Structure 1
Amino acid sequence: MAAIPWRTGGLLLAVIVIVALPYLITRGSSQESFQAGELVTRSAEVQALAYRIADQTHDAESAIQHLLADDPDSHAEAVAVGAEEAIPGLLDELRRISGDNTTQQHLVEQLGAVENGRLALLHQAIQRYRLNDRAGAEQALRDANGLFRIDDIIDKVVANAEQTLQQRYDAARKQSYDSSLVLTLTAIAQLLMLMIVVVVSERQIGRRSQAEARERQAIQRSQMILQAVREPIALLDHNLCTLLVNAAFSELYGVSEESRADYLEDVGQGAWSDEVLMQRLRDVLLRDRELWDFELIQRTIDGVERHAVINARRLQQQDSESPVLLLTVSDVTARALVEQQVKELNHQLENKVSQISEVNRELEAFSYSVSHDLRAPLRHITAFAQKLEGHLGQGIDNTALHYLGVIRDASNRMAQLIEDLLVFSRLGRGALRLQAVDMQALVEESCALAESEVLGRSIVWGIDPLPVVVGDENMLRTVWQNLIGNAVKYTGQREVAHIDVSVQRSNGGDYEFTVADDGAGFDMRYVDKLFGVFQRLHKASEFPGNGIGLANVRRIVMRHGGRAWAEGEPGNGARFHFTLSAIEPPTASP
């Protein structure tokens, strides 16, 4: 049935082409011939106008010569004046009709320039004649002939027009030949079209027979594919009876591939006895509701319990009003077992995380408790050392004074270590107060603070424009103070220290901040110790400090979701890097 409208449409198209094509070609040929004729006429008009301009000019000169020769012809002056008035109009007309030829247009412009000069002298000759200045009029006439020679330009214009005319004649002849050739080819094409229509019409019946044979072959191939698929598939009628099952379905549920009208509930020894599933399948048939990923556990014909995923959709048959149901089954037993194992592993992981969190809390509590409990003994040591020094008074010798100084220095250092340990502990417990943080302002503040502690030193700062980030302002201030303070400290042996602060985007799109100096540097073999608590790579006598600042930096950066690392070389400075997310801070609403 579908081939009849196709053939009808093809015949109509062929008729339209056969009728319309000659009309369009003939019309196009007529238009092109008309245009070619116009071009030929225009070339002839250019020649005529050029000769007319030359004649008018020479007539004007002749009239003036008659006047100077006292010729009694009373019309001579009128002829000269008339030519002077008519020639500009002729030049304008010549420019108009030669607009499609650039070479000709250029020649016309030259002709216009020469003609305007010559007319000006002719006009001067007439004026001097009227003033009885015959000598001046004759001189103007001689200048017009000598300075502005139009004959050569007229010859070029005419020659170009003749050449253009010949070219356009040739083009018109070629156009006529092409039109005849096209019409001949069109007639041949019409005959071929009619032959094709006849042949195609005759072959449609044979093609339809071939199409029906291919359709039967396609059905056979589809059945072969259906049987080869390892996923169980069944086609059910409106009563949920089997119409077609593939080999996988037959093997799994023990139903014969040739069986017909077996109720689904009777298939597989109760594998399909689930009432909820059967109701959902009926809903698919009655209400066209597709069933997706319905999971249940089935005991198949081999006695094994399987986790199955059922999918079903309604199909409408072309040769019947009764719908059918396409049922597919996916055996996900292996996946279910893996998911169960994943759940168990996740549960174990959660227990481990809980244990680690509890250990961390205990470590932080221990650190905090130890730090507080150590303060009281230190205060006693410091206080009693001062009392001992006061008790001894003037009778104290240098050795005892030295010992008391060592006790005080050790107590102060221990107190500073405890304070640093408290800060480190608080950094791990406190909640982040996220806000928009101007990194430029924090760096400038940290640089000013570091310079105020080393008055008299020469430090050259190189600070790039820094962005605004989202973070805890106080914690990020601690990061900059530690990194910039370290750079100032470890460049102390330089007469002029160079410290640079820069930022760039990392490969992941985050901000990567860098503090670089030309100070003492460090050996990269010990880079892992840099960010440890109380870890130092230099002697306290060379550079003071407790070795906890970089540990604070790493902890703060990690709490912000970034990372910190360092690069260095002994004697050639160090570069400390850390990353922060490039999340833009929210803009304040007006």
Structure 2
Amino acid sequence: MSDRSPRRVSALVSRLRGWSLLRWRVLGLLSAMLVIVALPYLVTRASTEDALEADTWVTHSAEVKSLAYQIAFEIRDSESAMYRMLDGDNDPAVRDRVEFGASDTPLLFRRLHEMSADNKAQQPAIDALGVVVNGRLALMKQALLRYAKGDRAGADAALRDSGTLFKLDELIRAIVDNEDAVLRQRRANAQMRSFRNDVVLAITALAQALLLGIIVLVSEWQIGRRIRAEARENRAIQRALMILQAVREPIALLDEQMRTLLVNTAFSELYGLPQREKRPLKLLQDVGEGAWSDSGLLQRLHDVLLHDRELWDYEIKQRTVDGMERHVLVNARRLEQDDGEAPVLLLTVSDITARALVEHQVKELNRQLEGKVEQISDANRELEAFSYSVSHDLRAPLRHIAGFAGKLERHLGEGVDETARHYLDVIRDASKRMAELIDELLVFSRLGRGALRLQTVDMQTLADEARALAESEAAGRRIVWKIAPLPVVVGDENMLRTVWQNLLGNAVKYTGQREVARITVEVRRGSDGGYTFSVADNGVGFDMEYADKLFGVFQRLHKASEFPGHGIGLANVRRIIARHGGRVWAEAAPDQGATFYFYLPPADQTGRGAN
């Protein structure tokens, strides 16, 4: 024990030094990452905030000038309407213009005063504008009173005094000029802040380049150090190689990371390692194609290294590279190295028996199959959850797109040109189509999750309802229907209603190019008691080469410009029929119509389909 204690102390000191160096390296790396990532983020964020602030002030100034111009317009419009009244125009709309200007102008002025409260240089002009506005409005009311009393000359004099005593144009021009001057100053300040941010970004880029250079140098130094350590380990392996090769019992020497420093010929033959040539270090659990992957054994071997214990006759079943399943006894003990390096593990293996392989292979295959089935089930559940989540999460940005498109159109008002109006129409149409696609995807997702509500369902009633709905959407067309008497089945009424609406709706849609559309619905009962329904039409049909795409989500065989739709209706049909335990298929030829079939099993088998 006295010889072993100094070695343990030396090993402990060496390990503490290694941890200390590792800690400082990690701290340095984290600091470098903080400088490289955080500083550009902060500077970019400041630049973005400055840009947003500048845009806000531009909008604010535009609104102030707009209010000033609108006040002038309201006053002049009211006075113009008053002059028309004096000229004998008794149209009530003219009088409404006079009264609207008198009531709306004070509200506009109050809003202008509130928005200019932050600009002290603007206040004198705003106050003067308030005097002029009140004076003009007062004379306007006086003119109205005189007009009501029949004194047209007095009303005309009051209006003329309004324009003479209370000048409006110069005040409006002064307010606009003041707002432009403030805006120019704010823009100059924003440019100065942007220049400062650019300087900080340049300094940050230099710091990043310097830190990256330091990291590269340190990494190269660490790689060199590791290469030298591996060279020392290889020399130790060469010294022990002759002794190890002479023993016929499989022996391996492992380092503290459970890597094979040395193995003898017996170990190489048993576990498929190269014998004579130089070998790279290899983890024990990677040796022998999984022969050493037992976690319990690996934990015990780690305990032997860490706590200086010994492992005696640990029995384990292994499959070696020769394809045989063996029962072996594993023994292990820790060995201290004379040069003060970390201890190593001496591992010996004794082959005590051989086991038959058939039973083990069957159990292993069954276990793997169960795992695959579980993985497929999990994947299907995750896919359903993903589809449902994506469909819901897409609604929020879609509402933003449609909402802000409307706000933009209202903001532009009458000033919007034809190109901008076209762009807004495209945005609205695309948003509407996207919303419809999301709704269809939600329906498709719900069809896969909701429980079947089995009950007796009158298929004749569902077909008639679907026929009426399809005809209402094809007003003016000539459609000849031939619907055979349909039975009562057991199923989910709402889901089967969706089936009929999709199939009959498609039949009406794809016969739209026919002068007379002919749609036939038939049913036949099979020997097992199930029913096979068919919907035939004389429409455009399709090429059977692409029939496998018919029932896929968002799969279409015709252009949307020819036949509108989203390509999910038949996918819903297939899912619904599959959930009822049936199946769906189609037969067609180009320009010769199509026939869609779906089979529903007997009542005692309904609902046994895929979920």
TM-score > 0.5 by shorter chain? no
TM-score by length of 1: 0.41
TM-score by length of 2: 0.39
